[in-house]
């Protein structure tokens, strides 16, 4: 197990968004989080690398452990935590700089390499890992904004990978993309799990079924069911899960 979540309650000011959520996230596996909009999926995801800390009035009770270490303890270095637990958003957000510099950014900031040749190597290795190298190797010094939406999203994945994270959190990473780009992202996620622990929020049931090993179903701020993906989609234990995956609501 990579992440252990124990009885998490989460509040935006007085409004509670998560209720008593407990679960474990498996290492080198893909965990999908599904559920209707507003049920707390993004809140939960952001609580795994303390991204919610940035929201005024937000407060978490309970425990989130990464490799057995409480990430909400005072000793936790949050910058380092976010390096270990990277995040990919729904809207790709490349920096307004070249393709190369997007990937090299975190490498330089974190001083993971100094020499130009070393940075070159990391950029190539990472773009290959993000299944983007062949498409951009001849335009590394052009603006990232000149890439297609799907390429930009893979660039953001490359940027996240460049700082050698252990966990990747993805919040609906393909929902703004066309079907071909979506298929590429799905294939990429599937391949990345050999080296990373991945947690992906999706509203696409087929996508969750295709790419994940385990699935959690959220409803109204509660983690209603969590199990192997196969189980969730063939024999859910809870009535609400069945209603949701068969499209009766949401």
Ligand X SMILES: Nc1ncnc2c1ncn2[C@@H]1O[C@H](COP(=O)(O)OP(=O)(O)O)[C@@H](O)[C@H]1O
| For ligand X, the closer CB: 143 or 220 | 220
Residue 41 near ligand X by CB under 6 A? yes
Which residue in 8, 25, 32, 43 binds ligand X (CB under 6 A)?
Answer: 43
39 binds ligand X (CB under 6 A): yes
* Residue 37 touching ligand X (CB under 6 A): yes
Pick 64 or 123: Cβ nearer ligand X:
64
- Tell me, letter by letter, the H, E, C secondary structure of the chain: CCEEEEEEEEEECCEEEEEEEEEEECCCCEEEEECCCCCCHHHHHHHCCCHHHHCCCEEEEEEEEECCEECCCCCCCHHHHHHHEEEECCCCCCCCCEHHHHHHHHHHHCCCCCCHHHHHHHHHHHHHHCCCHHHHCCCCCCEHHHCCHHHHHHHHHHHHHCCCCCEEEEECCCCCCCHHHHHHHHHHHHHHCCCCEEEEECCCHHHHHHHCCEEEEEECCEEEEEEEHHHHHHCCCCHHHHHHHCCCCC
Decide if residue 40 touches ligand X (CB under 6 A): yes
Give the per-residue contact string, 23-52, with Mg ion (x = CB under 5 A; - = no). Answer: -------------------x----------
Q: Does 202 bind ligand X (CB under 6 A)?
A: no
Stretch that binds ligand X, among 22-30, 34-42, 111-119, 184-192 (CB under 6 A): 34-42
Which residues of this protein are in contact with ligand X, per CB under 6 A? Answer: 12, 17, 35, 37-43, 55
């Amino acid at each position: 197990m990579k992440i252990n979540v124990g009885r998490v309650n989460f509040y935006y000011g007085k409004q509670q968004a998560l209720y008593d959520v407990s679960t474990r996230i498996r290492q080198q596996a893909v965990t999908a989080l599904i559920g209707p909009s507003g049920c707390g999926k993004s809140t939960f995801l952001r609580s795994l690398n303390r991204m919610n800390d940035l929201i005024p009035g937000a407060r978490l009770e309970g425990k989130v452990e990464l490799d057995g270490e409480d990430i909400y303890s005072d000793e936790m270095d949050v910058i380092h935590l976010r390096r270990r637990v990277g995040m990919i958003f729904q809207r790709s957000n490349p920096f307004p700089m070249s393709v190369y510099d997007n990937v090299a950014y975190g490498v330089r900031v974190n001083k993971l390499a100094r020499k130009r040749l070393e940075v070159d190597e990391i950029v190539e290795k990472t773009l290959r890992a993000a299944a983007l190298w062949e498409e951009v190797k001849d335009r590394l010094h052009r603006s990232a904004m000149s890439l297609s939406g799907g390429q930009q999203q893979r660039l953001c994945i490359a940027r996240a990978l460049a700082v050698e994270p252990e966990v990747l959190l993805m919040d609906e990473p393909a929902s703004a993309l066309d079907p071909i780009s979506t298929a590429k992202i799905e294939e990429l996620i599937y391949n990345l799990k050999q080296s990373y622990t991945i947690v992906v929020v999706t509203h696409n049931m087929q996508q969750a079924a295709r790419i994940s090993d385990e699935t959690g179903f959220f409803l109204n701020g509660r983690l209603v069911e969590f199990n192997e993906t196969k189980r969730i989609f063939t024999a859910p234990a809870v009535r609400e899960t069945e209603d949701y995956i068969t499209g009766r609501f949401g």
